[in-house]
A and B are shown apart, each in its own frame.
Chain A
Amino acid sequence: MTGPVWPRPGPTPPDPAMPPVPDPSRASRSSAKIVVAGGFGVGKTTFVGAVSEITPLRTEALMTEASTDVDDLGSTPDKETTTVAMDFGRVSLGDELILYLFGTPGQHRFWFMWDDLMRGAIGVVVLVDTRRLGDCFAAVDFVEDRGLNYIVAVNCFDGIARHGVQDVREALSIDPDVPVVLTDARQRESVKQTLIELVEHVLRQRRQPVGSPG
């Protein structure tokens, strides 16, 4: 499988000449994305909103219940479709680059859509509320399973970290390389710092060849 093909079945290989067509006059524009994951009510929307230049926008992602393999609803007209809300914010980094932040839908049964969301992402911030640590297990499972770059950010509700970073690290039993940081989802500076930690982490991973010791 080399890429999305429609209609299916049918030999319609993706045409390498397809867009994106770089427009010479605007070729310098580009975008990137970071995904914010975590359990219900952990502060994802607050986190996105703290740094976004727009009020987080809510979009409906419509999908079939069954699977991602169903490309053509026309062939299965009775298939249930459902919507999930996902919100996103925007941060302009200079004139040429726009960073989008996407808050994932928390419901487990929608996580099959994450692969699509994660494609091309810089990495993932897994937000954690230490009062309900278990709520983030599924998000950590997901990013680890997919081998995504991520950091864990403990959202200090009311400015208090009820458990230390080390406790969280142990409870999640995550790789020692994965940063665990404290954040305050309501504070722009704090959110900014958390995003910086993520990108620095990803850069470290990328510069260190896979499989090399240390």
Chain B
Amino acid sequence: MRKINKFPELWFLVGGLILLVGVFLADHLLNRYLVHILILMGIYSITTVSLNLTNGYTGLFSLGHAAFMAIGAYTSTLLAFPIALREAYELPLLPSFLGGPEYSWPFFPALVAGGLLASIAALLIGAPVLRLRGHYLSVASLGFMVIVTTFAKTLRGITRGSMGINAIPSYTNIYWTYLWLFISVYVVWRIVNSRFGRAMLAIREDETAAQALGIYPMKYKLLSFAVGAFFAGVAGGLYAHFTKAIRPFEFSFFLTFQIVTMLIIGGMGTTSGPIVGAASLIALRYALKPVEEGLQIYGLIELIYATLLIVIMLWKPEGIMGKRHSRMS
């Protein structure tokens, strides 16, 4: 363990290469169905990894993450939507400062734009909401999610309202997904191991002490919120170009519940927890799908998620990957 700690940057690079080979093999050897599941695991992992920065490391228990996904999903969809289909789907053409009516954005910059817009939203909403603590912050951020989904429903001229947007080109593939997962894990890992992340940990542990040691909490809360929102926005964009259709209600309570559950079950404030949580709950969902359909008990999966959440909170509140602090003997 100590040896690995010596050159973590190198190991990260090696890990990235192994990941690339793994993704390549998966893409070529596994059937479409399994690749589909892997992509979904990847997208959810990006979401939980970014949620972990705010909720796990900085201790700001935000429930607004789905809103950032929605912002990213709609932004990237609108930017990258094919010109030919815009009229058919009653979607607006791009104004000249975004490239003009004859232009649709390539996938990558559209994703980045979605992430950036989510970050800007995070900064705007964070300035008031991050002043709140504990439950107040959670509830206020949940309110933000409701506001965003309401906007998605009512701004029909842009979002087509609750009908949603269909025929989104399926740009998302396993390479894009895992590239972004790699980037998000890398960024969060770098932040956590720098003075920025240390400031976030300090805020989580004791905000007053942090401030008495020279840390200005608001700055680092906003940073963690904005970086988390960026990757949530990207994940939203990947999601939109994967499912090929988005509707406002998809980015609402159930999605919020799912990603928060994944993070808690995997282990908040741990490196691998968010990925383990996301991957295992997605695996569970697909394993149970035949059972759900066979027994005709729809909602079985939600029931099992909820039960798992309660069980984990009671018996292993630090999550699967979390370690309990052992008392010194």
Question: Does B associate with A?
Answer: no
